[in-house]
Structure 1
Amino acid sequence: MLKREVNDDPDATNRRQQAARERAAREREQRIAAALAQLPRVEKVKKAQGKPAESARVSTTDAEAAVMKMADGGFWPALNAQLATDTASQVIVGVELTNSGSDLGQLVPMVEQLRERYKQTPQEMLVDGGFAKREAIEKLATSTTVYAPVQQPKNSTRDPHEPLPTDSEAVAAWRQRMGTEEAKTIYKERAATAECVNAIARNRGLQRFSVRGLDKARSVLLWYALVHNLMRMVELAPGLVGGLS
C-alpha cells in the first residue's frame, strides 16, 4: 500500500507528516491558552494561603490539573481524589475529584454529597487533619460529629485540646472531644478503613490518570469505586454473588 502511495502520490507522506506537526502545534497552543486562563484562579488561591501570587503555577499538560508538591519534593500536575469509606464494610460511599492541592474545604461538600445520595446525613466522620477547618466543624456541628486530629500548637506547653478564647462552641467541643480516650479509640478505625482503601487503590494501580480534564478523570475514579465495591460485595456476601446469573 505504501509502495502504491509512493508511485501514485510521492508527496503524500510529507503532507501527512506536515499535517500532524501542524495539528500538534495547534493542540499545544490550545493547552497553553487554557493553562493561562487558569492562572488568575491559582493566583487567588495562593494569595488566600498567604503566599505570593508569583508562586502560582499552572500545567500546560492539563489545564484543569493543579501543579502540586509531591512526597518526593517535586512539583507535578495532579488532581486531588477524595474517597469516603464506610468503616464497617470498607465500601466506598462517596467520590469526588478536585484540582485543589489542599483538603481544606472538602469535608462539607462530601457530607452534602452523602446526604443527597443516601437521603441521610452521616452521624460521624473520621477525617485526617487536612480536613479540620473550623468553618466545616461549625457548619456540621448540628448534624455530624467530626473526628479529626487537633493541630499541635506552636507553644509546646499549651494543651492542644484546651479551647482557645476565640473558639466557637462547636470548635471548643471538637478540641475537647479529641482529647478523650473514647475519641482516640474511634479515630483508630480510620487506619483500618479509609487509609486501607487508599492503600488498596494505589496497589491496584490507581496512582495516575491517563486522561486529561476533571470530568474524564472523575469518570475513571467512579469506575474504580464501582469495581472496588463489587469486589467488596464478593468478600462480604459470597453466597449472594455466587447465585447471580
Structure 2
Amino acid sequence: MSYGRMVSEEERLEAEIRSMLHKAATIDNLEDQKFGDRRGDELPDELANRQARLARNREAKAALEAEARQRAGEDSEPDTDPPGGDWIKPRRRQSKAGTPEAKAQRNFTDPDSRIMRSSNEDFLQAYNAQVAVDADSQVIVAATATNQAADAAHLISMVSQIESKVGEKPAELSADAGYFSEANVTWLLKQRIRPYIPPDKQRHGELRRVKSLRGPIPKQATLRDRMRRKLQIRRHAEPYQRREQSVKPVFGPILRNLAFRQFRLRGLPAVQGQQLLVCTVDNLLKLYGAKHVA
C-alpha cells in the first residue's frame, strides 16, 4: 500500500473506530439498563479488526518514515566514488526531506520483501535469490537471498562466500550484465580473479556472432570499453559462454524436480534459510547421482 493511501486509510479507520466505539457505548448503556450489569466487555469483531488494521497501518507508515529519514541523512553526506568510478549515486525523489513520497509502498504481510521486476518484465513482491556455481561440477558453492533488486551489489559478498566455503578464490568468474560495474571489475582484478562480465545485456548467443577484433586497444578506452572488447575476442568469449552449461542448467532441476518456484515463507531470515535448504538438497541430489554414475 502506498504512503499516501496509508495516511488517508489511517484517518478513515480512526473515524470509523470513534463512531463504532460511541455506538457500542450507547448500546452497552441501554443493555445495562435493561438487563443489568453483566460481562460483555469483548470488543465487537468488526471493531477489533479495524483496530488491528490501524495498528498495522501505523507500523508500516512509521517504517516508511524511518526509511525516508535515513535516506535524507545519506543524501546529505558528500558523494564518494568506489574504486573504478563507475557508479552514480541515485537521486531519490521525496516530497520533502525525511518524508516518504505518496507512492512509497510497504507490504503489510511481509515487510522485508520488495517490489522487483521479473525476467518477463512483470512487477512482483519478491526477494532476489543469488547462487554461485562451480563451472565443472555444477555444484552450488555459494547462495543467499536478499531484498535488494540490483545484482551488482552482491558480487563481492558472493565471491567472499565462495572463498570462505571452498577455501580458495576462484581463478575466473563469469556473470551476466547485471553484475557489471567498474568497481566490481576493478575489485576482481585486484583479487587476481579473471572477470568475464559483459557491460551490456546480451541476447542468447550474441557473442558468438561477433568476429574477433584485432589491433591495439585505444589508450582512452574505459574499463567498460575494455571489457566489451575482451568479450568479443573468441578466447575470452568462450569462458563467458560456458555459463549456459554451468549456471543456467542449475535452475531447471530446482524448478522441475524440487517444484520450487517461489518462497513459501515470509521475512528475510526465513527466506534465506529456505534458499540455503533448497540449494543443499540440489547439491545432495547431484552428489548422489555422481556416486551412482561412477
Q: Which residue of 1 aligns with 2:66?
A: 37
Tell me, yes or no, if the aligned pair for 1:163 and 1:172 is still in contact at 8 Å. Answer: no
2:166 to 107, 118, 132: 118
The reply on whether 1:194 has 2:252 as its aligned counterpart is: no
Tell me, yes or no, if the aligned pair for 2:198 and 2:227 is still in contact at 8 Å. Answer: no
Higher Rg: 2
Where does the alignment leave 5 or more consecutive residues of structure 2 unmatched? 1-38, 76-87, 95-100, 202-210
> 1: distance between equivalents of 2:115 and 2:70?
13
Shift of 1:28: 5.3
Q: Percent identity?
A: 21
Shift of 1:35: 4.7
Shift of 1:34: 3.5
> 1: distance between equivalents of 2:274 and 2:247?
19
Shift of 1:117: 2.0
Tell me, yes or no, if the aligned pair for 1:114 and 1:121 is still in contact at 8 Å. Answer: yes
1:108 to 156, 160, 177: 156
1:225 to 272, 275, 279: 279
Where does the alignment leave 5 or more consecutive residues of structure 1 unmatched? 1-9, 153-158, 241-245
Tell me, yes or no, if the aligned pair for 2:143 and 2:276 is still in contact at 8 Å. Answer: yes
**How do 1:20-59 residues align onto structure 2 when only pairs under 5 Å count?**
21=49, 26-27=55-56, 29-39=58-68, 48-50=89-91, 52-53=93-94, 54=101, 57-59=104-106
Shift of 1:51: 5.8
Q: Which range moves more in the overlay, 120-129 or 203-212?
A: 203-212
> 1: distance between equivalents of 2:265 and 2:150?
22
Amino acid at match of 2:183: E
Q: Which residue of 2 aligns with 1:65?
A: 113
Q: Which residue of 2 aligns with 1:156?
A: none
Tell me, yes or no, if the aligned pair for 2:138 and 2:246 is still in contact at 8 Å. Answer: yes
The change in CA–CA distance for 1:186 and 1:72 in structure 2 (over 3 A counts) is closer
The change in CA–CA distance for 1:225 and 1:177 in structure 2 (over 3 A counts) is same
The change in CA–CA distance for 1:25 and 1:105 in structure 2 (over 3 A counts) is same
The change in CA–CA distance for 1:52 and 1:24 in structure 2 (over 3 A counts) is closer
Q: Which range moves more in the overlay, 224-233 or 112-121?
A: 112-121
Q: Which range moves more in the overlay, 65-74 or 47-56?
A: 47-56
Shift of 1:210: 2.3
Tell me, yes or no, if the aligned pair for 1:105 and 1:133 is still in contact at 8 Å. Answer: no
Q: Which residue of 2 aligns with 1:213?
A: 267
Write out per-residue CA displacement over residues 161-210 of structure 1, whole angstroms, 9 at most, x where no aligned residue. Answer: 86672625xx6653442121012222121012211112333333333222
Q: How many residues align?
A: 221
Q: Which residue of 2 aligns with 1:180?
A: 233
Instruction: Specify the SS of the correspondent of 1:137.
Output: helix
Write out per-residue CA displacement over residues 16-51 of structure 1, whole angstroms, 9 at most, x where no aligned residue. Answer: 957973556545543454454345567879x93356
Tell me, yes or no, if the aligned pair for 2:107 and 2:113 is still in contact at 8 Å. Answer: no
Q: Which range moves more in the overlay, 198-207 or 30-39?
A: 30-39
> 1: distance between equivalents of 2:219 and 2:126?
36
> 2: distance between equivalents of 1:164 and 1:20?
70
The change in CA–CA distance for 1:60 and 1:48 in structure 2 (over 3 A counts) is same
Write out per-residue CA displacement over residues 198-228 of structure 1, whole angstroms, 9 at most, x where no aligned residue. Answer: 2333333333222222111000001001101
Instruction: Specify the SS of the correspondent of 1:138.
Output: helix
Tell me, yes or no, if the aligned pair for 2:141 and 2:166 is still in contact at 8 Å. Answer: no
The change in CA–CA distance for 1:17 and 1:135 in structure 2 (over 3 A counts) is same
Instruction: Specify the SS of the correspondent of 2:199.
Output: coil
> 1: distance between equivalents of 2:268 and 2:225?
37
TM-score by length of 1: 0.73
The change in CA–CA distance for 1:35 and 1:74 in structure 2 (over 3 A counts) is farther
Shift of 1:120: 0.9
